[in-house]
């Protein structure tokens, strides 16, 4: 069985790599011949650039971008939308007409892991969630944003989204949405006051309903950051982690961990953050992507709110915090500078204010563009307004290494088992152990 599995995996890996190898070689020879031509072309454009901006615009129109194929990976929900936008883009920019663009449905999570597994076979432009940024940069799957666009992107998008797209001090991707965060969905008829965690749990328990919250890495920071702990990682421009700033092993951290243990000990508590898998719930901590699922389930009793406060083991009241983040659009490093220019322009267009707003109207993805966020339709969205209320208490999600997520998941496991009813010393020891492990994560 195992032999079979491994050999099948390896055979698959081999055959893909063989294909890739051939494709790449062919591309290389073509590219090498084109290289000299390109360089001279580029030198001329550079010279023109230096003279004046007005001239540069005309020069750009003259530039022959050649022909090629561009592959885009986006989530299933926005494939049609993206196709339409790409068609508009090509129509508006006839100089790129030589490129055929194909849009494929690859979810954000799969896109990131596929890119990491095999960069050469991956898409040229792809959407992903911000927690993958560092991994993608480290695997060489993200090209830096063209220098001329950096300032505009930084000024037009929400600060959190820009942080998420940045590794070291380099902007690597284009913010597409700023709705990657979590807040409280609840059943109005069961939970009358969603302002305190204790109140919510009590009312859920009394009604025999479930309270869903995930305690893994992305969600557990609601407690740790809520009590004032910090956790950030330093990374260099290549996506390598160089240091960790953490103060979990402290009184504040202890309060947070105790609260997690208490919440997990409630009989209304269920681990999970996927509304589609949740059953019989009166409250769930989830993100905007599940808004329609929750709405269908709760019907008229559907309501959203920012995350509640909780009373810690030290008697003080803390507001639950969390990460805020976004979906990003990335461009793969290209061996052809012209194609890269087209990809840059296309990615920039697909994340522009108008397209973000159109995307919101079409599929409900909350925009990261500040102007688009100020739009009336966006402001009227119940889930998005709960999220933006919660965003006031959250921390922009920077880059975290894979080991952090692995260890945080392990802590979540312990919180629900080994640490239930454990002595204070054991809890402290677990906290110390956790801090040591995540501080060593690279």
Partner 1 sequence: MSNTSVAKKNPVGSFFSAVGNVFKDIGVIFVQGDWRTKISYLIMGFGQIMRGQFLRGGMYLSIEVLFIWFMTSFGSKYFSKLGTLGTIETYKKNRKTVYGDHSFLILLFGLLALFFIIFLLFCWYKNIKDNQKEELILKSGKKLPGSKADFLSLFDSNFDKTLLALPVTGVFAFTVLPIVFMICVAFTNYDATHQAPTKLFTWVGFENFKNMFSFGTGGFGRTFGGVLLWTLVWALLATFIDYFLGIAVAILINKKGIKFKKFWRTCLVMTIAVPQFVSLLYVSKLFDSAGIINGTLMKWGIIDSAIPFWTDPLLAKVTIVVVNIWIGIPYLMLMATGLLMNIPADLYESASIDGATPWQMFRHITMPYMLFVTGPYLLTSYTGNLNNFNVIYLLTGGAPKSMSYTGGAGATDLLVTWLYKMTINDTDYKMAAVIGIMVFIVTAVISLSVYRMLPSVKDEEGFQ
Beta strands 231-235 and 241-246: pairing type? antiparallel
Kindly state whether residue 414 participates in binding partner 1, applying the rule CB under 8 A: yes
Q: Tokens for 83? A: 């196709």
Of residues 2 and 425, the one with the C-beta less far from partner 1: 2
Kindly state whether residue 187 participates in binding partner 1, applying the rule CB under 8 A: no
Kindly state whether residue 45 participates in binding partner 1, applying the rule CB under 8 A: no
Owner of token pair 């504040």: 252
- For residues 10 and 7, give the distance between their C-alpha atoms in angstroms, rounded to a whole number: 5
- For residues 35 and 31, give the distance between their C-alpha atoms in angstroms, rounded to a whole number: 6
Q: Which of residues 122-181 bind partner 1 (CB under 8 A)?
A: 135, 138-141, 143-144, 146
The angle subtended at Cα 191 by Cα 411 and Cα 320, nearest 5°, is 40
Smallest distance from the beta carbon of 281 to partner 1, in angstroms?
8
Q: Tokens for 48? A: 């023109």
Of residues 391 and 434, the one with the C-beta less far from partner 1: 434
Q: Which stretch binds partner 1 (CB under 8 A): 74-82, 309-317, 347-355, 404-412?
A: 404-412
Kindly state whether residue 243 participates in binding partner 1, applying the rule CB under 8 A: no
- For residues 275 and 25, give the distance between their C-alpha atoms in angstroms, rounded to a whole number: 46
Of residues 106 and 139, the one with the C-beta less far from partner 1: 139
Smallest distance from the beta carbon of 80 to partner 1, in angstroms?
30
Side-chain half-sphere exposure of 395, counting CA atoms within 13 A:
22
Smallest distance from the beta carbon of 432 to partner 1, in angstroms?
11
Smallest distance from the beta carbon of 140 to partner 1, in angstroms?
2
Per the DSSP assignment, residues forming a β-bridge with 396 are: 324
Pick the binder of partner 1 from 45, 83, 113, 250 (CB under 8 A): 113
Kindly state whether residue 417 participates in binding partner 1, applying the rule CB under 8 A: yes
Closest CA to 187 of 310, 308, 306, 304: 304
Smallest distance from the beta carbon of 210 to partner 1, in angstroms?
6
Of residues 83 and 406, the one with the C-beta less far from partner 1: 406
Q: Number of residues interacting with partner 1: please give it, by CB under 8 A.
A: 61
Q: Which stretch binds partner 1 (CB under 8 A): 11-19, 161-169, 311-319, 373-381?
A: 11-19
Cα distances (Å, whole numbers) of residue 122 to 101, 117, 119, 235, 250 = 14, 9, 5, 25, 44
- Provide the 8-state DSSP code for 369: B
Residue 410 in 3-state DSSP?
Answer: helix
- For residues 400 and 394, give the distance between their C-alpha atoms in angstroms, rounded to a whole number: 16
Residue 141, C-beta contacts closer than 8 angstroms, at least 6 positions apart: 115, 116, 119, 122, 330, 332, 333
Kindly state whether residue 5 participates in binding partner 1, applying the rule CB under 8 A: yes
Kindly state whether residue 418 participates in binding partner 1, applying the rule CB under 8 A: yes
Kindly state whether residue 42 participates in binding partner 1, applying the rule CB under 8 A: yes
Kindly state whether residue 3 participates in binding partner 1, applying the rule CB under 8 A: yes
- For residues 218 and 220, give the distance between their C-alpha atoms in angstroms, rounded to a whole number: 6
Pick the binder of partner 1 from 23, 69, 333, 374 (CB under 8 A): 333
Of residues 184 and 411, the one with the C-beta less far from partner 1: 411
Q: Which of residues 189-208 bind partner 1 (CB under 8 A)?
A: 208
Pick the binder of partner 1 from 213, 298, 412, 427 (CB under 8 A): 412
Q: Which stretch binds partner 1 (CB under 8 A): 94-102, 190-198, 388-396, 410-418?
A: 410-418
Per the DSSP assignment, residues forming a β-bridge with 69 are: 100
Of residues 23 and 371, the one with the C-beta less far from partner 1: 23
Closest CA to 179 of 47, 399, 363: 363
Owner of token pair 């639950």: 320
- Provide the 8-state DSSP code for 239: S
Continuous segment of H or E residues that includes residue 284: strand 281-286
Kindly state whether residue 440 participates in binding partner 1, applying the rule CB under 8 A: yes
- For residues 46 and 314, give the distance between their C-alpha atoms in angstroms, rounded to a whole number: 63
Pick the binder of partner 1 from 114, 351, 369, 407 (CB under 8 A): 407
- For residues 260 and 414, give the distance between their C-alpha atoms in angstroms, rounded to a whole number: 11
Q: For partner 1, what does the binding mask look like between residues 259 and 298, x meaning CB under 8 A?
A: --------x--xx------xxx------------------
H helices present in 235-351, as ranges: 251-265, 291-298, 337-350
Kindly state whether residue 60 participates in binding partner 1, applying the rule CB under 8 A: no
Smallest distance from the beta carbon of 103 to partner 1, in angstroms?
23
Residues found near partner 1 in the complex (CB under 8 A): 1-3, 5-7, 9-11, 13-14, 17, 21, 24, 42, 113, 116-117, 119-120, 135, 138-141, 143-144, 146, 208, 210, 240, 267, 270-271, 278-280, 333-337, 340, 402, 406-407, 409-414, 416-418, 430, 433-434, 436-437, 440
């Amino acid at each position: 069985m195992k032999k079979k599995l491994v050999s099948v995996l390896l055979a698959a890996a081999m055959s893909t790599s063989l294909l890739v190898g051939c494709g790449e070689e062919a591309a290389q020879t073509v590219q090498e011949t084109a290289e000299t031509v390109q360089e001279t072309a580029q030198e001329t454009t550079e010279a023109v650039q230096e003279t004046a901006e007005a001239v540069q615009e005309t020069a750009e129109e003259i530039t022959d971008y050649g022909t090629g194929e561009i592959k885009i990976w986006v989530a299933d929900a926005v494939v049609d939308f993206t196709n339409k936008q790409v068609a508009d883009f090509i129509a508006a920019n006839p100089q790129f007409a030589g490129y055929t663009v194909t849009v494929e449905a690859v979810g954000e999570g799969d896109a990131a892991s596929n890119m990491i597994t095999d960069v050469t076979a991956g898409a040229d432009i792809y959407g992903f969630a911000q927690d993958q940024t560092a991994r993608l940069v480290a695997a060489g799957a993200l090209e830096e944003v063209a220098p001329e666009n950096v300032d505009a992107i930084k000024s037009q998008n929400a600060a959190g989204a820009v942080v998420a797209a940045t590794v070291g001090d380099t902007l690597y991707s284009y913010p597409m949405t700023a709705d990657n965060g979590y807040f409280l969905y609840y059943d109005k008829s069961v939970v009358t006051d969603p302002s305190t965690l204790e109140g919510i749990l009590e009312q859920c328990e009394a009604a025999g309903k479930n309270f869903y919250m995930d305690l893994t890495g992305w969600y557990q920071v609601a407690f740790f950051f809520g009590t004032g702990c910090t956790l950030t990682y330093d990374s260099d421009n290549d996506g390598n982690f160089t240091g960790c700033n953490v103060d979990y092993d402290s009184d504040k951290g202890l309060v947070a961990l105790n609260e997690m243990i208490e919440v997990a000990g409630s009989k209304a508590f269920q681990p999970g953050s996927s509304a589609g898998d949740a059953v019989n719930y009166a409250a769930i901590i989830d993100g905007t992507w599940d808004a329609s699922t929750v709405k269908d389930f709760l019907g008229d009793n559907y309501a959203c709110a920012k995350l509640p406060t909780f009373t810690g083991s030290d008697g003080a009241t803390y507001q639950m915090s969390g990460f805020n983040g976004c979906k990003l659009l990335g461009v793969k490093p290209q061996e052809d500078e012209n194609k890269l220019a087209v990809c840059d322009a296309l990615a920039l267009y697909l994340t522009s204010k108008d397209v973000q707003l159109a995307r919101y109207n079409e599929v409900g993805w909350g925009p990261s563009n500040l102007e688009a966020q100020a739009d009336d339709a966006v402001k009227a969205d119940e889930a998005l307004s709960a999220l933006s209320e919660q965003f006031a208490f959250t921390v922009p999600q920077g880059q975290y290494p894979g080991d952090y997520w692995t260890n945080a998941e392990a802590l979540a496991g312990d919180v629900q088992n080994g640490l239930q009813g454990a002595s204070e010393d054991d809890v402290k020891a677990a906290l110390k152990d956790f801090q040591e492990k995540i501080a060593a994560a690279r």
